[in-house]
Amino acid sequence: MSMNLGPIFEPFEIHNLRLRNRVAMAPMTRNFSPGNVPNQKVVDYYRRRAEGGVGLLISEGTTVNHDAASGYPNVPFFHGDEALAGWKEVVDAVHEAGGAIFPQLWHVGAVRKEGTEPNASVPGYSPSGLFAPGKPNGKAMSKEDIDDVIEAFADGAQDAQALGFDGVEIHGAHGYLLDQFLWEGTNQRDDEYGGSMENRLRFVVEIVEAVRGRVGPDFPIMLRFSQWKQQDYEAKLVTTPEELEQFLKPLVEAGVDIFHASTRRFWEPEFEGSNLNLAGWTQKLSGKPTMSVGSVGLTEDFISGTFASKKEAVEQSGIDELLERMSNHEFELIAVGRALLQDPEWLIKVKEGRIDDVEAFAKKSLTKLY
Protein backbone atom coordinates (compact mmCIF):
# COMPACT_ATOMS: atom_id res chain seq x y z
CA MET A 1 0.00 0.00 0.00
CA SER A 2 1.37 3.40 -0.95
CA MET A 3 2.12 5.94 1.77
CA ASN A 4 0.60 9.39 1.54
CA LEU A 5 3.71 11.48 0.97
CA GLY A 6 1.83 14.43 -0.51
CA PRO A 7 4.10 17.36 0.41
CA ILE A 8 7.24 15.47 -0.58
CA PHE A 9 5.92 14.75 -4.06
CA GLU A 10 4.65 18.22 -4.87
CA PRO A 11 6.67 19.89 -7.65
CA PHE A 12 8.95 22.79 -6.78
CA GLU A 13 9.84 25.77 -8.93
CA ILE A 14 12.20 28.71 -8.59
CA HIS A 15 13.54 30.82 -11.45
CA ASN A 16 14.27 28.40 -14.31
CA LEU A 17 14.41 25.36 -12.02
CA ARG A 18 11.56 22.84 -12.17
CA LEU A 19 11.75 19.85 -9.81
CA ARG A 20 9.40 16.88 -10.01
CA ASN A 21 9.39 16.55 -6.21
CA ARG A 22 10.96 18.04 -3.12
CA VAL A 23 13.47 15.31 -2.31
CA ALA A 24 17.15 15.94 -2.93
CA MET A 25 20.14 13.68 -2.63
CA ALA A 26 22.45 15.28 -0.10
CA PRO A 27 26.05 15.93 -1.17
CA MET A 28 28.34 13.13 0.01
CA THR A 29 32.09 12.86 -0.56
CA ARG A 30 32.75 9.65 -2.49
CA ASN A 31 36.51 9.60 -3.35
CA PHE A 32 35.89 7.60 -6.50
CA SER A 33 37.35 9.88 -9.18
CA PRO A 34 40.92 8.74 -9.97
CA GLY A 35 42.94 11.61 -11.35
CA ASN A 36 40.21 13.92 -10.01
CA VAL A 37 38.02 13.20 -13.05
CA PRO A 38 34.46 11.77 -12.81
CA ASN A 39 34.42 8.50 -14.75
CA GLN A 40 31.69 6.16 -16.02
CA LYS A 41 31.15 4.66 -12.57
CA VAL A 42 30.44 8.16 -11.23
CA VAL A 43 28.05 8.84 -14.13
CA ASP A 44 26.18 5.61 -13.39
CA TYR A 45 26.07 6.39 -9.66
CA TYR A 46 24.22 9.66 -10.22
CA ARG A 47 22.01 8.20 -12.96
CA ARG A 48 20.75 5.46 -10.63
CA ARG A 49 19.63 7.98 -8.00
CA ALA A 50 17.82 10.03 -10.66
CA GLU A 51 16.17 6.85 -11.95
CA GLY A 52 15.11 6.23 -8.35
CA GLY A 53 12.88 9.29 -8.54
CA VAL A 54 14.93 11.89 -6.66
CA GLY A 55 13.99 15.39 -7.76
CA LEU A 56 17.34 17.13 -7.23
CA LEU A 57 20.78 15.62 -6.96
CA ILE A 58 23.48 17.67 -5.26
CA SER A 59 26.87 16.40 -6.28
CA GLU A 60 29.62 15.35 -3.96
CA GLY A 61 31.91 18.22 -3.07
CA THR A 62 33.83 19.13 -6.22
CA THR A 63 36.79 21.44 -5.88
CA VAL A 64 37.18 24.86 -7.43
CA ASN A 65 40.28 25.88 -9.35
CA HIS A 66 42.61 26.82 -6.51
CA ASP A 67 45.79 24.95 -5.57
CA ALA A 68 44.66 24.37 -1.99
CA ALA A 69 40.99 23.58 -2.64
CA SER A 70 41.27 19.79 -2.30
CA GLY A 71 41.94 17.95 0.92
CA TYR A 72 41.17 14.33 0.08
CA PRO A 73 42.29 11.75 -2.51
CA ASN A 74 40.27 11.02 -5.64
CA VAL A 75 37.90 13.95 -5.17
CA PRO A 76 36.65 15.30 -8.50
CA PHE A 77 37.73 18.70 -9.75
CA PHE A 78 35.32 21.23 -11.19
CA HIS A 79 37.88 22.72 -13.53
CA GLY A 80 40.00 21.55 -16.44
CA ASP A 81 38.72 20.14 -19.72
CA GLU A 82 38.84 16.47 -18.69
CA ALA A 83 37.00 16.89 -15.38
CA LEU A 84 34.37 19.19 -16.88
CA ALA A 85 33.78 16.71 -19.70
CA GLY A 86 33.17 14.05 -17.07
CA TRP A 87 30.66 16.28 -15.30
CA LYS A 88 28.90 16.93 -18.61
CA GLU A 89 28.26 13.19 -18.89
CA VAL A 90 26.85 13.21 -15.35
CA VAL A 91 24.51 16.10 -16.16
CA ASP A 92 23.23 14.43 -19.32
CA ALA A 93 22.64 11.12 -17.54
CA VAL A 94 20.66 12.76 -14.72
CA HIS A 95 18.55 14.75 -17.15
CA GLU A 96 17.81 11.67 -19.23
CA ALA A 97 16.45 10.04 -16.06
CA GLY A 98 14.18 13.00 -15.30
CA GLY A 99 16.20 14.55 -12.50
CA ALA A 100 17.90 17.89 -11.92
CA ILE A 101 21.43 18.37 -10.59
CA PHE A 102 23.57 21.03 -8.91
CA PRO A 103 27.33 20.74 -8.43
CA GLN A 104 28.54 21.50 -4.93
CA LEU A 105 31.47 23.91 -5.29
CA TRP A 106 33.98 23.33 -2.50
CA HIS A 107 37.20 24.54 -0.94
CA VAL A 108 38.38 22.64 2.14
CA GLY A 109 40.49 25.43 3.65
CA ALA A 110 42.63 24.48 6.63
CA VAL A 111 41.26 20.95 6.62
CA ARG A 112 43.88 20.36 3.93
CA LYS A 113 47.22 18.99 5.10
CA GLU A 114 50.51 19.26 3.27
CA GLY A 115 51.21 16.06 1.40
CA THR A 116 47.68 15.86 -0.02
CA GLU A 117 47.16 15.51 -3.77
CA PRO A 118 47.27 16.98 -6.32
CA ASN A 119 50.25 19.12 -5.20
CA ALA A 120 51.73 17.78 -1.98
CA SER A 121 53.73 20.96 -1.26
CA VAL A 122 50.66 23.22 -1.03
CA PRO A 123 49.52 23.98 2.55
CA GLY A 124 46.00 24.54 3.74
CA TYR A 125 44.62 28.06 3.30
CA SER A 126 42.34 29.69 5.85
CA PRO A 127 41.41 33.07 7.30
CA SER A 128 43.90 32.87 10.17
CA GLY A 129 46.00 29.75 9.69
CA LEU A 130 43.80 27.78 12.08
CA PHE A 131 42.17 24.37 11.58
CA ALA A 132 40.19 24.84 14.80
CA PRO A 133 40.37 27.33 17.67
CA GLY A 134 43.94 27.18 19.00
CA LYS A 135 44.99 24.56 16.42
CA PRO A 136 47.24 26.02 13.72
CA ASN A 137 47.50 24.57 10.23
CA GLY A 138 48.60 26.06 6.93
CA LYS A 139 48.70 29.73 6.03
CA ALA A 140 46.55 32.75 6.66
CA MET A 141 45.13 34.10 3.42
CA SER A 142 46.20 37.42 1.97
CA LYS A 143 43.75 39.71 0.19
CA GLU A 144 45.15 38.40 -3.09
CA ASP A 145 44.45 34.83 -1.95
CA ILE A 146 40.89 35.81 -1.06
CA ASP A 147 40.36 37.40 -4.47
CA ASP A 148 41.74 34.29 -6.19
CA VAL A 149 39.31 31.99 -4.38
CA ILE A 150 36.35 34.27 -5.09
CA GLU A 151 37.27 34.17 -8.77
CA ALA A 152 37.57 30.37 -8.64
CA PHE A 153 34.04 30.00 -7.29
CA ALA A 154 32.69 32.37 -9.93
CA ASP A 155 34.51 30.43 -12.66
CA GLY A 156 33.05 27.18 -11.35
CA ALA A 157 29.51 28.51 -11.35
CA GLN A 158 29.90 29.86 -14.87
CA ASP A 159 31.18 26.47 -16.02
CA ALA A 160 28.26 24.74 -14.28
CA GLN A 161 25.79 26.86 -16.18
CA ALA A 162 27.59 26.22 -19.47
CA LEU A 163 27.54 22.46 -18.88
CA GLY A 164 23.80 22.44 -18.36
CA PHE A 165 23.58 22.09 -14.59
CA ASP A 166 20.28 23.31 -13.15
CA GLY A 167 21.84 25.52 -10.47
CA VAL A 168 24.81 25.53 -8.14
CA GLU A 169 25.41 24.88 -4.45
CA ILE A 170 28.17 26.77 -2.63
CA HIS A 171 29.59 24.77 0.28
CA GLY A 172 29.70 27.10 3.26
CA ALA A 173 29.34 24.50 6.02
CA HIS A 174 31.03 21.91 8.25
CA GLY A 175 34.25 23.73 9.07
CA TYR A 176 35.62 24.06 5.53
CA LEU A 177 37.02 27.30 4.11
CA LEU A 178 33.92 29.47 3.88
CA ASP A 179 32.76 28.29 7.28
CA GLN A 180 36.21 29.03 8.70
CA PHE A 181 35.63 32.66 7.78
CA LEU A 182 32.14 32.60 9.33
CA TRP A 183 33.24 30.90 12.55
CA GLU A 184 34.68 33.30 15.09
CA GLY A 185 36.82 30.49 16.52
CA THR A 186 38.85 30.17 13.30
CA ASN A 187 38.58 33.73 12.04
CA GLN A 188 40.93 35.90 14.07
CA ARG A 189 41.58 38.45 11.36
CA ASP A 190 41.74 42.17 12.14
CA ASP A 191 40.95 43.43 8.63
CA GLU A 192 37.61 43.82 6.83
CA TYR A 193 37.18 40.02 6.77
CA GLY A 194 37.33 39.49 10.53
CA GLY A 195 35.82 40.68 13.78
CA SER A 196 32.12 41.51 13.53
CA MET A 197 29.56 39.18 11.99
CA GLU A 198 29.26 41.58 9.08
CA ASN A 199 33.00 41.31 8.44
CA ARG A 200 33.14 37.53 8.89
CA LEU A 201 30.33 37.23 6.34
CA ARG A 202 32.11 39.39 3.80
CA PHE A 203 34.07 36.61 2.08
CA VAL A 204 30.97 34.46 1.55
CA VAL A 205 28.90 37.46 0.47
CA GLU A 206 31.54 38.41 -2.10
CA ILE A 207 31.58 34.84 -3.44
CA VAL A 208 27.80 34.85 -3.85
CA GLU A 209 27.90 38.27 -5.50
CA ALA A 210 30.62 37.13 -7.90
CA VAL A 211 28.70 33.98 -8.78
CA ARG A 212 25.50 35.94 -9.34
CA GLY A 213 27.37 38.33 -11.59
CA ARG A 214 28.52 35.44 -13.77
CA VAL A 215 25.32 33.39 -14.03
CA GLY A 216 22.67 36.09 -14.26
CA PRO A 217 19.41 36.45 -12.33
CA ASP A 218 17.65 33.18 -13.21
CA PHE A 219 20.26 30.52 -12.38
CA PRO A 220 19.56 29.23 -8.85
CA ILE A 221 22.25 29.69 -6.21
CA MET A 222 22.00 27.54 -3.10
CA LEU A 223 24.19 28.07 -0.05
CA ARG A 224 24.85 25.26 2.41
CA PHE A 225 25.65 26.39 5.94
CA SER A 226 25.72 24.78 9.36
CA GLN A 227 26.13 25.55 13.00
CA TRP A 228 28.13 22.35 13.73
CA LYS A 229 31.64 21.80 12.44
CA GLN A 230 33.61 18.62 11.93
CA GLN A 231 36.06 20.23 14.35
CA ASP A 232 33.34 20.83 16.97
CA TYR A 233 29.81 19.42 16.84
CA GLU A 234 28.67 21.93 19.47
CA ALA A 235 29.95 25.04 17.67
CA LYS A 236 27.53 27.87 16.95
CA LEU A 237 27.59 30.69 14.44
CA VAL A 238 24.50 32.22 16.02
CA THR A 239 22.68 31.64 19.30
CA THR A 240 19.39 33.50 18.79
CA PRO A 241 16.86 34.07 16.00
CA GLU A 242 17.91 37.72 15.96
CA GLU A 243 21.52 36.78 15.24
CA LEU A 244 20.40 34.32 12.56
CA GLU A 245 18.43 37.07 10.85
CA GLN A 246 21.51 39.31 10.87
CA PHE A 247 23.47 36.43 9.37
CA LEU A 248 20.97 35.69 6.60
CA LYS A 249 20.08 39.19 5.41
CA PRO A 250 23.40 40.04 3.66
CA LEU A 251 23.40 36.63 1.97
CA VAL A 252 19.90 37.16 0.62
CA GLU A 253 20.90 40.58 -0.65
CA ALA A 254 23.98 39.06 -2.31
CA GLY A 255 21.85 36.66 -4.32
CA VAL A 256 21.22 33.39 -2.45
CA ASP A 257 18.01 31.79 -3.74
CA ILE A 258 17.85 28.68 -1.55
CA PHE A 259 19.45 27.98 1.83
CA HIS A 260 20.56 24.43 2.66
CA ALA A 261 20.60 24.42 6.46
CA SER A 262 22.68 21.42 7.49
CA THR A 263 21.84 19.72 10.78
CA ARG A 264 22.72 16.27 12.08
CA ARG A 265 19.07 15.45 12.94
CA PHE A 266 16.27 17.32 11.17
CA TRP A 267 13.77 16.95 14.04
CA GLU A 268 15.84 18.80 16.64
CA PRO A 269 14.77 22.38 17.48
CA GLU A 270 17.34 25.10 16.94
CA PHE A 271 16.40 27.63 19.61
CA GLU A 272 14.55 27.36 22.91
CA GLY A 273 10.86 28.12 22.87
CA SER A 274 10.14 26.84 19.37
CA ASN A 275 10.03 23.48 17.62
CA LEU A 276 11.47 24.98 14.41
CA ASN A 277 14.74 23.46 13.29
CA LEU A 278 17.52 25.47 11.66
CA ALA A 279 15.90 25.20 8.23
CA GLY A 280 12.56 26.26 9.64
CA TRP A 281 14.00 29.35 11.26
CA THR A 282 16.03 30.12 8.15
CA GLN A 283 12.99 30.03 5.87
CA LYS A 284 10.93 32.10 8.31
CA LEU A 285 13.57 34.80 8.69
CA SER A 286 15.00 34.93 5.18
CA GLY A 287 11.82 34.56 3.14
CA LYS A 288 13.74 32.18 0.88
CA PRO A 289 12.94 28.50 0.28
CA THR A 290 15.08 26.31 2.48
CA MET A 291 16.28 22.71 2.41
CA SER A 292 16.51 20.68 5.59
CA VAL A 293 18.64 17.58 6.12
CA GLY A 294 19.71 15.27 8.90
CA SER A 295 19.35 11.51 9.36
CA VAL A 296 16.23 11.07 7.23
CA GLY A 297 15.69 7.32 7.11
CA LEU A 298 18.28 6.66 9.82
CA THR A 299 17.75 5.74 13.45
CA GLU A 300 21.18 6.48 14.89
CA ASP A 301 23.38 9.55 15.02
CA PHE A 302 25.30 11.20 12.20
CA ILE A 303 28.47 9.16 12.59
CA SER A 304 27.26 5.67 13.54
CA GLY A 305 23.93 5.81 11.69
CA THR A 306 22.41 2.50 10.72
CA PHE A 307 18.97 1.28 9.83
CA ALA A 308 17.08 -0.68 12.40
CA SER A 309 15.08 -3.66 11.16
CA LYS A 310 13.63 -3.24 7.68
CA LYS A 311 10.14 -2.49 8.98
CA GLU A 312 11.46 0.00 11.53
CA ALA A 313 13.59 1.73 8.89
CA VAL A 314 10.74 3.94 7.73
CA GLU A 315 8.58 3.89 10.86
CA GLN A 316 11.40 5.16 13.07
CA SER A 317 12.99 7.56 10.61
CA GLY A 318 10.70 10.46 11.38
CA ILE A 319 8.78 10.29 8.11
CA ASP A 320 5.52 11.34 9.78
CA GLU A 321 7.19 14.30 11.45
CA LEU A 322 8.93 15.21 8.21
CA LEU A 323 5.61 15.21 6.36
CA GLU A 324 3.99 17.37 9.03
CA ARG A 325 6.80 19.93 8.93
CA MET A 326 6.72 20.10 5.15
CA SER A 327 2.92 20.35 5.11
CA ASN A 328 3.31 23.35 7.40
CA HIS A 329 5.92 24.82 5.00
CA GLU A 330 8.56 25.04 7.70
CA PHE A 331 10.95 24.22 4.86
CA GLU A 332 10.31 23.42 1.22
CA LEU A 333 12.92 20.77 0.41
CA ILE A 334 14.45 17.80 2.19
CA ALA A 335 17.84 16.23 1.49
CA VAL A 336 18.41 12.51 2.04
CA GLY A 337 21.94 11.17 2.35
CA ARG A 338 22.98 7.70 3.42
CA ALA A 339 19.55 6.14 2.86
CA LEU A 340 19.98 6.93 -0.85
CA LEU A 341 23.64 6.01 -0.74
CA GLN A 342 22.68 2.52 0.39
CA ASP A 343 19.55 2.12 -1.74
CA PRO A 344 19.12 4.14 -4.95
CA GLU A 345 15.44 3.13 -5.02
CA TRP A 346 14.76 4.22 -1.43
CA LEU A 347 12.30 6.92 -2.45
CA ILE A 348 10.33 4.63 -4.77
CA LYS A 349 10.13 1.94 -2.10
CA VAL A 350 8.97 4.38 0.55
CA LYS A 351 6.36 5.86 -1.78
CA GLU A 352 5.00 2.44 -2.66
CA GLY A 353 5.00 1.24 0.94
CA ARG A 354 7.54 -1.48 0.17
CA ILE A 355 9.07 -1.29 3.63
CA ASP A 356 10.40 -4.84 3.55
CA ASP A 357 12.35 -4.03 0.39
CA VAL A 358 14.26 -1.10 1.89
CA GLU A 359 17.92 -2.02 2.10
CA ALA A 360 19.42 -1.72 5.57
CA PHE A 361 22.22 0.82 5.71
CA ALA A 362 25.65 -0.76 6.00
CA LYS A 363 28.89 1.12 6.48
CA LYS A 364 30.44 -0.80 3.58
CA SER A 365 28.31 1.36 1.28
CA LEU A 366 30.59 4.25 2.21
CA THR A 367 33.54 2.49 0.58
CA LYS A 368 32.04 1.45 -2.73
CA LEU A 369 30.21 3.10 -5.59
CA TYR A 370 27.00 1.61 -6.92
Residues with catalytic annotation? 176
**For residue 85, what are the contacts with CB-CB under 8 A and spacing of at least 6?**
none
Q: How many CB atoms lie within 10 A of CB 95?
A: 16
In angstroms, the CA 348 to CA 50 distance is: 11
Would you put residue 133 in left (φ > 0), alpha (ψ -120 to 50) or beta? Answer: beta
Beta bridge partners of 261: 225
Residue 158 and residue 168 in contact, taking contact as beta carbons nearer than 8 Å: no
Which of 243, 244, 249 has its CA nearest to residue 261? 244
- Which H or E element spans position 246? helix 241-254
Q: Where are the beta strands (DSSP E) in 120-206?
A: 125-126, 130-132, 135-136, 139-140, 168-171
Let me know the angle formed at the C-alpha of 17 by 13 and 22, rounded to the nearest 5 degrees.
55
Please give the Cα distance from 311 to 309 (Å, whole number).
6
Residue 125 has φ and ψ, to the nearest 5°, of: -110, 140
Coil vs helix vs strand at 231: coil
Which pairing describes strands 12-14 and 17-19: parallel, antiparallel, or unpaired? antiparallel
What does the buried/exposed string (b/e) look like for 230-269 if buried means 16 or more CB atoms within 10 Å of the residue's CB?
A: ebeeebebbeebeebebbbebbbebbbbbbbbbbbebbee
Calpha distance 337→133 (Å, rounded) = 29
